[in-house]
Structure 1
Amino acid sequence: MNHDTVAVVLDLSANGIGIIRSLGRRGIPLYAFDTERKYKIGKTRYANCGICPDPKTGESDLLALLIQLSESLPKKPVLFAGSDEFVYFISKHRHELSNYYHFLLPEHDLIEAVLDKRLTAKLAEKHQIPSPKTFIVNNEAELDQLIHNMSFPCILKPVFGHEFRKKLSKKAIIMENADQLRKEFPFYQQFGELLLQELIPGQEERIYQVGTLFDDNLQLIGLFMGQKLNQFPAYFGAGALVKSVRNEEVIEKGVSFLKALGFKGISVAEFKRDPRDGQLKFIEINARTWLWHSLSGRCGVDLSYLYYLLLTKQNPEPKLTQTEGIKWIYLVRHYLSSREKRKREKLTWYQWLRSLKGKKEYALFAWDDPLPFFRSAFSHLINSWKNSRQIKKMETKLTQEDD
């Protein structure tokens, strides 16, 4: 295979590092960019790393940076995005960027739909895909009207999850009863638009993700799936401990849904099996590589590399089968999530250590590129401490208001 085309990765989180290591270890030349804070944590020896403007507040500057980089190279590079913000930026500027980069994305309205949870729910409804009941809440007056139709516990979720998580490290908040919801809604509302969603019961083991790579003609080039075992933040978050598995029902539902929607390029669909009726319920879609996608390479289906070969017109052979039973571990997140669960469940540290057994792929730890692991671990521990202080302040404030 020819590896002389440069790849440019926008993202230096663990997701982006997974892309970079997959390509860099094959000798593919790489540039990687992210905003200053994430750059400092994730810069890696496998890429020429740099700081870039924020894709939301510095669009024109980021566009100029990417055009200038492409013009300095002998031929059009392949462009990867590892976060929702960068996916949206590329999609929004796709017509201009396509003159300088190779990339493959679904239509822009689909990108917008999967970033806005209100529109995502409508997609599932339109295609008759079972999913949790979802209610839009714009203000406290609407909350009072909806609260009588809700069953508890339920979930309070941000409409735009990637924006919400920048301000508060939470993907969803469990509301045990109507009183808690009324009390805490104003606090969470300050961080962004919110919706209420039915809680699908059951542990993380009931959650599956199906990743696909479709070419421009919607032919399936890559297929990979896994089962979540732990999440960060605890209970509602991204994978912290994941195992590669293959389930034909999940694959059929995920692949058919993504193909029907027209999800060209790399994407992933998440489902949770509802113990009440045994049905798989659709949760969300990401129009990009996802956090634990690097496990695909360990299991014989390297989606990042397949994408590179596809975009450089090297006609990769489809990879639709995988090795099962290998774990992916984001060590610091698995630790922090398990520590939180010990407060609510009978989880012992012996059980946690046993979860590390078996064949595994680490999110960041690597002997040939160790610094991203140590910088990330330190950052997570500091942020965990700050977040716990923020939550305590919120609880204190709410208690004082009750008094």
Structure 2
Amino acid sequence: MTTTETGRPAKTGASRGGPGALVIGGDYQGLGIARSLGRRGIPVAVLDDEVSIAPRSRYVRHAMRVPTLRSAQATTDALHEAARRFGLDGWVLFPTREETVAAVAQNRDELARTFKVPTPSWETVRIAWDKRQTYQVAERLGIDVPRCWFPRDEADLSAIPMDSPVIIKPAIKEHFFYETGAKAWRADTRAELVQKFREATAIIPADEVIVQELVPGDGARQLAYCAFVKDGEPVGSMTVVRRRQHPSDFGRASTFVETVDLPELEAPSLRLLREMGYYGLVELEFKRDERSGTVKLLDVNARTWGYHGLGAAAGVDFAALLHQDQMGLPVPSCRARAGVRWVRLATDVPNALRDIARRRLRLMDYLRTLRGIDVGAVWAADDPLPALAELGILPRLAIRRGL
């Protein structure tokens, strides 16, 4: 296995000692985990298959880069190699991408002989991983979801009414995303639906294609319930509005997020999580349908999410809560306060400029939203090197996956 590595002490003062955390993925999401734990004196290692920014953090003690983490076997082998190389027995795993969550869940028993594995079992994770199961379980529980169709071939498309736009999306994100760089495609006419279905089935099997009604409204109607769940209850929780996303129509990632009070999201979220027998960190994405005012479930992410660092600024440090629980320590219940803002400027600014050019956003309105930002995805005064490193790799990220 080809690897590169660093092995330097974190510059955080005295470490509390004991098992640390192995973060699988070194993008800004992994950086947020490293900072959350590193600031508490908890040692952190990062494993990635890309050039990434988290290894530049002062809070990362070890880093290892491998050729790929796209398969379950490659991920499992890399985790064992990292444990052997750095002495990570008993450390807590933090996967940050769908495919690494799936790999850890599928090999949970084997990995648990070396690591602490907070990722739930595969029987639980696959309900979130495969959107066909997500929507079917949600509907059975009476949770509102957008209308969905599961065509097996082109002939099935004729049964889908085209009285409003639809989207074509994959049941399993990584089978589609790495090929297209898109989360979903829009179709406004039946001809477009047929064409997009043909394009999709050239990439993924027909039975992995979902056709779904397009819930109208922009990113400001994208909502989320985020939590650390244990024994069916939210130990820590946060509700947010995803005010801007990249791209604006079918956001692959949030770019500007604010905590808000949305108690209506808790009941359906917990109903689903209890049915799944879920433990750990989770984000459930919803969208408010402006036609009816109801919120509809879009997605379940069985891992940390891109803006999880917003939680710490709002009083709920999700990564720290999970690590603390894995160490067998008491974890206090907490709920995020409203009005705290998070931004990822590297994607928010260029996306806003595109929307301004299309007259979908006014420049002064955009600039006003940047006043009083509480936490950034990458920049931190006590840990500036990752932000400098990001400037160097942004062109590569833009080409490879559109940031």
Q: TM-score, normalised by structure 1?
A: 0.87
Counterpart position of 2:179: 167
Partner of residue 264, structure 2: 249
Gaps of 5+ in 1: 389-403
**Preserved contact between residue 12 and residue 43 of structure 1 (Cα < 8 Å):** yes
1:288-327 superposed matches below 5 A: 288-319=303-334, 321-327=335-341
Q: In structure 2, what is the equivalent of residue 393 of structure 1?
A: none
Give the 4+ runs in structure 1 shifted more than 4 A.
377-388
- The reply to whether residue 67 of structure 1 matches residue 80 of structure 2 is yes
Shift of 1:299: 0.7
Q: What is the CA–CA distance in structure 1 between the aligned matches of 2:159 and 2:358, rounded to whole Å?
A: 29
Q: Which runs of 5 or more residues in structure 2 are unaligned?
A: 1-14
1:3-22 Cα shifts (integer Å, max 9, x gaps): 53221111112111111111
Counterparts of 2:37 and 2:243, CA distance in 1: 27
| Distance across 1 between alignment mates of 2:381 and 2:220 | 30
Q: How far 1:308 moved relative to its partner?
A: 0.5
Contact map agreement 1:42 1:375 (CA 8 A) in 2 = no
Q: Is 1:339–2:353 an aligned residue pair? A: yes
1:16 maps onto 2:30 in alignment: yes
Residue number in structure 1 paired with 2:99:
85
8 Å contact kept, 1:34–1:51:
yes
Once residues 357 and 153 of structure 2 are traced to their aligned partners in structure 1, the CA distance between those partners, rounded to angstroms, is 33
After superposition, the Cα gap between the structure-2 partners of 1:345 and 1:189, relative to the gap in structure 1 and judged at 3 Å, is farther
> Could you tell me whether the CA contact under 8 Å between 2:64 and 2:82 is conserved in 1?
no
Instruction: Output the CA distance in 2 between the equivalents of 1:117 and 1:224.
Output: 23
Q: State how far apart, in whole Å, the 1-side matches of 2:203 and 2:349 are.
A: 27
Does the 8 A contact of 1:226 with 1:246 survive in 2? yes
How far off its partner does 1:330 sit?
Answer: 0.9
1:105 and 1:24 map into 2 onto residues whose CA distance is: 21
Contact map agreement 1:157 1:195 (CA 8 A) in 2: yes
Greater Cα offset, 133-142 or 368-377: 368-377
Over the aligned positions, Cα root-mean-square deviation in angstroms equals 2.4
Tell me if 1:358 matches 2:372: yes
In 1, the alpha carbon distance for the partners of 2:136 and 2:89 equals 41
1:167 to partner: Cα distance: 1.9
The answer as to 2:176 corresponding to 1:123 is no
Of residues 264, 285, 291, the one that matches 2:300 is: 285
Equivalent position of 1:137 in the other structure: 151
Contact persistence 1:55–1:89 (CA under 8 A): no
Question: In the alignment, which of 224, 228, 250 is matched to residue 242 of structure 2?
Answer: 228
> Please, which moves more after superposition, 364-373 or 297-306?
364-373
Native 8 Å contact 2:48 2:64 kept in 1: yes
Which of 283, 293, 307 is matched with 1:268 structurally?
283
Give the secondary-structure state (helix, strand or coil) at the position aligned to 1:91: helix
Q: Deviations over 1:117-149 (max 9, x none)?
A: 211111111211110011123433333x234x2
Contact 1:114/1:286 (<8 A) preserved: yes
State how far apart, in whole Å, the 1-side matches of 2:171 and 2:74 are.
27
Q: Pick closer, same or farther for the CA change 1:194–1:60 going to 2, 3 Å.
A: closer
**Structure 2 counterpart of 1:146, one-letter code:** A
Q: 2:63 — aligned with what? A: 49
The number of residue pairs the alignment matches comes to 381
Aligned to 2:164: 152
Q: Which moved more, 1:333-342 or 1:228-237?
A: 333-342
Q: 1:90 is matched by which residue type in structure 2?
A: V
SS in 1 for 2:56: coil
Segment drifting more, 245-254 vs 374-383: 374-383
Aligned residues of 1:210 and 1:255 also touching (Cα < 8 A): no
Task: Name which of 14, 18, 32 aligns with 1:4.
Answer: 18
Match of 1:368 in 2: 382
**Overall identity of the aligned pairs, in %:** 27
Distance of aligned partners of 1:65 and 1:185 in 2 relative to their CA distance in 1, 3 Å threshold = closer
